[in-house]
Chain A
Amino acid sequence: MTSQPNKLAFNSGWQYAAAPEGTDHFSIGKRYGLFINGEFVKPATGKYFNTVNPATEEVLARVALAGDEDVDRAVAAARKAYKGVWSKMKAAERGKYIYRIARILQERAREFSVIESLDGGKPIRESRDIDIPLAAAHFFYYAGWADKLEYAFPGRKPAPLGVAGQIIPWNFPLLMAAWKIAPALACGNTVVLKPAETTPLTALKLAEVISEAGLPPGVVNIVTGAGKTGAAVVDHNDVDKVAFTGSTNVGRHIMMALAGTNKKYTLELGGKAANIVFADAAIDQAVEGIVNGIFFNQGHVCCAGSRLLVQESVADQVIAKLKDRMETLIVGDPLDKNTDIGAINSAPQLEKIESYLKIGQAEGAEMYQSSCSVPKKGYWCRPTIFTGVSQSNRIVQEEIFGPVLAIQTFRTLEEGLTKANNTPFGLSGGVWTDKGSKVFKMTQGIRAGVVWANTFNKFDPASPFGGYKESGVGREGGLHGLGAYLSLD
């Protein structure tokens, strides 16, 4: 089939009525302090900043801005807790505290889901079905490692590093906190965590959970703020390990800042993953995988399948089906249970995405957006694809971090693989083919840390995650995620 003479109509007739998730079952504080040594304290800076609901542009809460002095206090509390309690505790007991966190998160899952969607703009379906359950699962997974570490490293004696400074992004706020905190604690470290400035609320709610779980004061400290606060954590002399998830540029600066110190570091950075669809793929499922690859979480995903490489003989068919599928994506209120694509996380991010839409068009690519309407207030971007794109275009080479897909075609396996690997990034990749031997040739050939074959954007606490090349250093998740928080002498 080369053309699609018959259009399907999705936007007339029966429509889904609004199905908003309730918000009457929890409360968000007006103002949040810093979580240091087991309690919320006022920042020494005396300053607070707003965290905004990106779907309404309304202020949700005021959040403390941590300065150097505050970071210093947090690190000191973490050091004290490390020396005094956490490193001395029996590993099995340490594990039980982490299990408690997992359990309480499960109990309070609905509250966390709603706050995550309010603060970050992601659809409630995703925070409810993915972010929050996975965060709890992560704590559950690593809790069990606490007293089994020697089995993970044959011939070595694993020991904790000390204080871990952790900086997380705004795309999966609670989940990234879990990715960072769970293995750090399981390995016997204490933590100073800095959430992203646009999405601090679930981390602060997590502080409540940590208190509720009875963790000794200072084992987990949470300091809110922007880049400067993060830099203070990275640069602090008494931090033994830095874990960062965010952009490659910031990661590069952190790597340079850590040069000459003995601090260990893990970096989870950007990506520009290719999703490679062969003619012999299960096409309908591949289309679904393309959608999951780029429109999941508004495309605010470092491992997003932001490049589609489709074999020429099925390109028209795949693109036609993709366009139809895009018409059925519901963009709007993140709290509506039927929303597929929520709000763009912040005004600057929307601006960045929109600049790339202009760049793509200026480069000569053809832009197609779904016909959905978007709310007047808030930050929104319709699902977007670019066709007629070349490898040399910026929208192919640079990470956009939005619901924007660049589509290229290829003829042979080698061409597809070459284009897929022709990038400084190497976080993830996807391949779609029904032929088993080709699956393995491709998954081996793609230079990336996570490769999804006949699926995309799947995550699990047991599954290591992390990039090749400029997509990062080290792995998080699974057994391989432990090494980053241990010395192995």
Chain B
Amino acid sequence: MSAKEKPKTLQLPDLDRVALVDEVGVEERVARFRSRSIKNASKVEALKMILSMIDLTTLEGQDTPGKVRQLCQKAIHLHDGMPGLPHVAAVCVYPPMVGIAKKALGNHNINVASVATAFPSGMAPRQIKLEETRIAVADGADEIDMVISRGEFLQGHYEFVFDEIAAIKDACGTAHLKVILETGELGTLDQVRKASMLAMHAGADFIKTSTGKIQPAATMPVTLVMLQAIRDFYFATGRRIGMKPAGGISDAKLAIHYLVMLHETLGQAWFSPEWFRFGASSLANDVLMQLQKQQSGVYQSADYFSKD
């Protein structure tokens, strides 16, 4: 992204004025989403939408080019036995794997997302984080998933966190920036909301719950609070921000309830991979099994779906 496309006045908002959140009320609302019964055509539609929203992820110390290539194959060929399936939105890897993934995905219109900024802890000097981001982008990353400096945030050093996000955004150039709040380390939903607001004002294109390395990772209450923050930011600025819950969403039923929550909180405009992603490694196969079940009427076995 060139300098002139950047939002003109990035400004840290007054986080003391960010709307408050009541945890029990959030949980009650989530229970209502979970009581929705999604059946038949709307279920098939949802399952396909979920597939198209997946950032297929491998973020292991033991990742190898071989593993990443296999994952990319899976991204392209989710389940060839079932025609008419969408492909996933992106493959998400560590920076050294970006080039490999980029090559493996070829021209299949699947993005490469790279974590960066000393993922998952974020404990590195800013220069290193910026350099890591630039390298990942240079190697072909379409999307950067950065982590915020939670220690600084929890100390109340909002300015620091804000500047860091803005700087990384700058380093992303045209790549989309997803900002991981690591909500499992923020303590309360009020903090989640504050961090969401901070990240959006600092230039995030997406806000993302978790690295997947900390428990709890994505939860529906946390995601709801972030979706509501996105809505309020949209009302205030007219800018649409994307949302990515990541970690802990491994079955189709739960993912459908996330879609219900998205649908009833932000509405139709967000209902696409452009604005909503699932960060997950094993979700895709469960969704595929459910789709197969919808088509055949027979419950499925995991042995019939490729694990890459």
Contact = CB atoms under 8 A, between A and B. Distances in A.
Direct contact of A and B (CB under 8 A): yes
Interface of A: 1, 4-6, 8-19, 125, 129, 280-286, 288-289, 320, 328, 337-338, 434, 454-455
Contacts of A1: 232, 235-236
Interface string B222-257: 000000100110111010000000000000000000
Given A8-B269, A13-B268, A17-B42, A285 B21 contact: yes
A114 to B, nearest CB: 14
B46 A455 contact: no
B27 to A, nearest CB: 10
A22 B102 CA distance: 50
Given A13-B268, A14-B42, A17-B39, A285 B263 contact: no
B37 interface: yes
B40 interface: yes
Max chain A CB contacts within 10 Å: which of B35, B37, B40, B46?
Answer: B37
A5 B238 contact: yes
A247 B36 CA distance: 34
Contact of A9 (B228, B231, B268): B268
Contact of B268 (A4, A12, A454): A12
Interface of B: 19-22, 24-26, 28-29, 35-43, 45-46, 49, 228, 231-232, 234-236, 238, 259, 263-264, 266-269, 271
A280 B35 contact: no
B35 A129 contact: yes
Given A12-B268, A288-B29, A17 B19 contact: no
Contacts of B46: 14
A286 to B, nearest CB: 8
Contacts of B234: 6
Q: Which of A125, A284, A337, A338 has most B Cβ within 10 Å? A: A284
B267 A9 contact: yes
Given A5-B238, A14-B45, A455-B25, A434 B263 contact: no
A4 B228 contact: no
Tell me the interface secondary structure of chain B in the complex. helix
Contact of B263 (A10, A18, A455): A10
Contacts of A328: 264
B38 A17 contact: yes
A-B residue pairs, 4 tightest by C-beta: A285-B25, A19-B37, A337-B37, A8-B267
B19 A283 contact: yes
B238 A16 contact: no
Given A5-B238, A282-B19, A455-B25, A10 B268 contact: yes
A366 B228 CA distance: 27
B22 A454 contact: yes
A284 B266 contact: no
Nearest to B21: A282
Contacts of B264: 10, 328
Contacts of A288: 25, 28-29
A16 B42 contact: yes
A320 B25 CA distance: 19
Contacts of A125: 35
A16 B38 contact: yes
A284 B21 contact: yes
Contacts of B236: 1
Given A9-B268, A16-B37, A17-B40, 13 more contacts: A1-B235, A6-B234, A6-B238, A8-B267, A15-B42, A17-B38, A19-B37, A125-B35, A129-B35, A282-B22, A282-B25, A284-B26, A434-B20
Nearest to B237: A6
B161 to A, nearest CB: 23
Contacts of B228: 284
Contacts of B271: 13-14
Interface centre among A11, A338, A455 (most CB of B within 10 A): A338
B25 A14 contact: no
17 contacts: A1-B236, A6-B235, A8-B269, A9-B269, A13-B268, A14-B46, A16-B37, A17-B41, A18-B39, A19-B37, A280-B20, A283-B19, A283-B20, A288-B25, A337-B35, A337-B37, A434-B20
A18 B269 CA distance: 23
Contacts of B263: 10, 14
Contacts of B49: 14
Nearest to A4: B235
Contacts of B22: 282, 285, 434, 454
A487 to B, nearest CB: 40
A117 B31 CA distance: 21
Name the residue in B28, B49, B259, B267 with the highest tally of chain A Cβ atoms < 10 Å from its Cβ. Answer: B267
A338 B20 contact: no
A10 B265 CA distance: 9
A282 to B, nearest CB: 4
A14 B24 CA distance: 28
A289 B268 contact: no
A282 B23 CA distance: 10
